[in-house]
Amino acid sequence: SPFVKAQTNSNPPNIFIITTDGFRWQEVFKGADCNIIRDTKYVSDTSLMIEQFWSEDQLERKKKLMPFFWNVIAKKGTLVGNRDFGNDVNVANLFKISYPGYNEILTGFADKKCIPNLNIKNRNSNVLEYLNNCKDYAGKVAAFSSWNVMPYILDEQHNSFPVNSGYEILDEENDSTNKLINTVQKGIEIKSHTRYDLLTYASAKNYIEQKHPKVLFLSLGETDEFAHKGQYDQYLQKAKQVDQIIAELWYYVQTDPFYKGNTTFIITTDHGRGSKTSKWSQHGFWVKGSGETWMAMIGPGIAAEGERKTKGELYLKQIASTIGILADEDFHVGDHPVAAPIPLTKESTVTPISTNIKPITINLNNK
């Protein structure tokens, strides 16, 4: 098991859940794809991309793309999902698009009903609101997302923790950094449904420094945006940027007295993409490989296993109750089942709820 039981103390653990939308396991565990990076259909300057991201040595290649993952997490945490070793991480929902994927991660439930990638209120309770209603985490939960549909997935209207998504304006009261971010956001002439990840991160980082939340959900989106455009070069650049963001955030929590030694990162994605070169930019129930995902974990409660190379299968729906275990809370709700957490060691005394859901409907809305 990658986990050991989080220790109960006077300072309950801090948990950061970080996602990067639609980022394939292939690039996480093998670096740049040798066929796609040389294809002028997907890369504007193949020679420059090869200089930046290619090496015949696989370890060196993936370090070029994600140095923090392979220099730090691989030594001090756990990486799960390298299918070359039969170590699988999958989505449990049928749809294999973003809304159902984030719903699965945050609610522990693979909803069998159609949930399109639209501004539709989520009917399922999530682990963030659950923790916000627990004594140790009340008023200490926050979410920041590049994708502007996230407030609906989290049901922001009926939940009590702050959510900032897309190009939403930040609170400027006595906060010069938020004023600057708002000025930059207002100056962006063409705003898509996905905010620039660096703006999302800047917003979240400022909130972390000012408010010190104990539970943070940070959802980045540009890897998916450029994949859909078929721009593999930009997809790789954004993946490296995600790695840099996580590295900077990890350094911050290791040097801030509030977070140091008591903060765990869970990093994942909401869905996979096509496993074939011709299908890498696509995903959905009709594209093979779209349900293949991965996880990376580091911090107290996570064993230093490195890359897991044993056969096994995990699902995104197990993350929500795993967050509960790390927080010393048994996440359960009355409006839907909650999948069992990723197995803990024998030290664990929490008995979580476990229910497998088999989706039966389909959704053609793409993201």
pTM equals 0.92
Q: Is the pLDDT of residue 358 over 70?
A: no
Q: Is the pLDDT of residue 360 over 50?
A: no
* Low-confidence winner among 35-39, 139-143, 222-226, 359-363 (lowest mean pLDDT): 359-363
The chain-wide mean pLDDT, for the chain, equals: 91
Residue 234's pLDDT is what?
98
Per-residue confidence at 9, pLDDT binned at 50, 70, 90? low
Q: Is the pLDDT of residue 366 over 90?
A: no
Residue 205's pLDDT is what?
98
Residue 301's pLDDT is what?
87
List pLDDT tens digits, range 258-305.
999 999 999 999 999 999 999 999 999 999 999 999 999 999 989 999
Residue 367's pLDDT is what?
56
Q: Is the pLDDT of residue 330 over 50?
A: yes
Q: What would the mean pLDDT of 140-167 be, rounded to a whole number? A: 97
Q: What would the mean pLDDT of 82-87 be, rounded to a whole number? A: 98
List pLDDT tens digits, range 184-198.
999 999 999 999 999
Query: 117 vs 3, which has greater pLDDT?
Result: 117
Residue 5's pLDDT is what?
43
Distances 259 to 71, 144, 167, 177, 300 between C-alpha atoms, Å: 21, 19, 28, 22, 11
Per-residue confidence at 115, pLDDT binned at 50, 70, 90? confident
% the chain with pLDDT above 90: 89
List pLDDT tens digits, range 161-176.
999 999 999 999 999 9
Q: Is the pLDDT of residue 118 over 90?
A: yes
Per-residue confidence at 42, pLDDT binned at 50, 70, 90? very high
Query: 338 vs 361, which has greater pLDDT?
Result: 338
Q: What would the mean pLDDT of 94-102 be, rounded to a whole number? A: 97
List pLDDT tens digits, range 304-313.
999 999 999 9
**End-to-end Cα separation, the chain, in angstroms:** 33
List pLDDT tens digits, range 122-139.
999 999 999 999 999 999
% the chain with pLDDT above 70: 91
Residue 346's pLDDT is what?
31
